[in-house]
Structure 1
Amino acid sequence: MGDSFERVWSSADAIPGWTTRDQGRALWDAVLRLRPGATVVEIGSHQGRSTVVLGHAARRVGARVVAIDPFLEGPPFGGQRTRAAFEANMAEQGLDDVVELVVGYSTKVRPTWDRPADLLFIDGKHDYWTYTDDLRWSAFLPGEADVLVHDCFSSIGVTSGTVAKVLPGSRLAYRDRVGSLARFTVTRPTRADRLRLVAELPWFLRNVVLKVLLRLRLRPLARLLGHDSPVDPY
């Protein structure tokens, strides 16, 4: 059956990145629901922290992962050094035969993409315009497929894009979240689906307030909101 999640996560956790253990487990479980021959599309791979989880889960079910990242130069992206780290991590994990790397902007790759996909994980650039364009990758998915969005409720660009495009839309239904990792499915949302999404917005606003307080170095006020850490929430 291959490696267990705990063993895979011990390797992934050593790779710099922002995916938490619980979010990694959500990615793992989403891939294990796929059938043999399925394709996972990951937008935004960085050094491969989440890709390692996706790749090992894909091997278990006979699926493949397409990792898309432009590897931009400059902080916090790292450019070619980040790409080298990603490729080294895939090789060290023995995932070269499972993970296909596509170097490029997701917004430029999508218009010429002609392959079906079965699971979409969006963790690319977090501005409104890029994220809402990345949502268009869901057109390659079948009905009831999962779309996982990282930082869905902790990024102004991603949350505003979700409110503007997903909430009133007719293609994606909100299911649940693990921290700021949200799960949608490709289906017409019901009124209950939309209300569940709206119910998450106060939590998002709390995250924004905490980020502002941390940048103003007002940690005592942040602690009053239950955040006792110098780093951003989620």
Structure 2
Amino acid sequence: MTDGFEEAWSLAEPVKGWMTREQGLALWTAACRLDKGDLIVEIGSHQGRSTVVLATAARTVGATVVAVDPFVDGRLFGGSPTRQRFEANLKAAGVDDVVELVAEYSTKLRPRWTRPIQLLYIDGKHDYWTYTDDLRWSEHLAGGGEILVHDCFSSIGVTLGTIAKVLFGRRYTYLDRATSMARFRLTPPSPKDRLRVIAQLPWFLRNVGIKILLRLRLAPVAKIFGHDSPYDPY
């Protein structure tokens, strides 16, 4: 199932973003499990690094990607210039024909959405309320469908949402993670499944601690905890 991933990653890696190679492989593998005519919904695209991986995999199985991103103007988001780079990156990778862009807030689009989804990837706004609303896109997934979430155990809002909706919920089962990218299945969890979510919380607390150290400009201390980078753990 990894056949073709190296080529996909060579197209995606030059695109600015925070998704790692290991996480890209997790997306690729999940997308390659789909069938012809299936639909992938990606919430949060930025400049298209993850989109390129998903779209390249989608092409191999005959699936399609819908990228949902409002491309909001402002210092933290980039707005129209980011959208232009996104579209240029897809074209450069040769996957623009596999991707349908919906430039809208995921929370506003979701109530109107009617198409079935076979794979859901969430990397939108990381606050608790937006993330838990984005999980509701799973209402369009068939039972057993997969959901991948970026920054799941490195963002406070996303982790709190996961605790509320996965650990204490009845719809999602935690499967595994590629660093901070977690994979869930739309199926009721067992007690053992819930324990596996709890087992991830110490790693999450480590990531929060590292973020605090970086903001205090204590990178040498963060290095003691295994984080040798000026950037937040992703």
**Structure 2 Cα separation of the partners of residues 140 and 124 of structure 1:** 18
**Structure 1 Cα separation of the partners of residues 54 and 35 of structure 2:** 14
What's the offset of the Cα at 1:96?
2.3
**Structure 1 Cα separation of the partners of residues 32 and 229 of structure 2:** 34
Q: Which residue matches 1:57?
A: 57
Residue identity in the other structure for 2:174: Y
Q: Which residue matches 1:219?
A: 219
**Structure 2 Cα separation of the partners of residues 111 and 84 of structure 1:** 27
Residue correspondence of structure 1 range 83-232 to structure 2 within 5 A: 83-232=83-232
Aligned to 2:142, the other structure's residue is in SS state coil
Percent identity, aligned pairs only, is 66
What's the offset of the Cα at 1:110?
0.2
**Structure 1 Cα separation of the partners of residues 56 and 228 of structure 2:** 34
What's the offset of the Cα at 1:181?
0.1
**Structure 2 Cα separation of the partners of residues 43 and 106 of structure 1:** 7
Q: Which residue matches 2:74?
A: 74
Q: Structure 1 runs of 4+ off > 6 angstroms? A: none
**Structure 1 Cα separation of the partners of residues 8 and 35 of structure 2:** 20
**Structure 1 Cα separation of the partners of residues 58 and 219 of structure 2:** 41
What's the offset of the Cα at 1:94?
2.1
> Does 2:38 match 1:48?
no
TM-score normalized by the length of structure 2: 0.97
Unaligned runs of 5+ in 1: none
Q: Is the 8 A contact 2:147 2:186 kept in 1?
A: yes
What's the offset of the Cα at 1:75?
2.8
**Structure 2 Cα separation of the partners of residues 13 and 224 of structure 1:** 28
What's the offset of the Cα at 1:227?
1.6
**Structure 1 Cα separation of the partners of residues 224 and 94 of structure 2:** 46
Q: Deviations 1:35-68 (Å, cap 9, x if unpaired)? A: 1110000000011000000001000000000000
**Structure 1 Cα separation of the partners of residues 57 and 46 of structure 2:** 19
Q: Is the 8 A contact 2:165 2:172 kept in 1?
A: no
Residue identity in the other structure for 1:58: A
Aligned to 1:142, the other structure's residue is in SS state strand
Residue identity in the other structure for 1:184: F
**Structure 2 Cα separation of the partners of residues 93 and 180 of structure 1:** 26
Unaligned runs of 5+ in 2: none
TM-score normalized by the length of structure 1: 0.97
Q: Deviations 1:118-175 (Å, cap 9, x if unpaired)? A: 0000000000110000000001000111000000000000001111122111111000
Aligned to 2:68, the other structure's residue is in SS state strand
The two structures, once aligned, show a CA RMSD in angstroms of 1.2
Deviates more, 1:3-12 or 1:60-69: 3-12
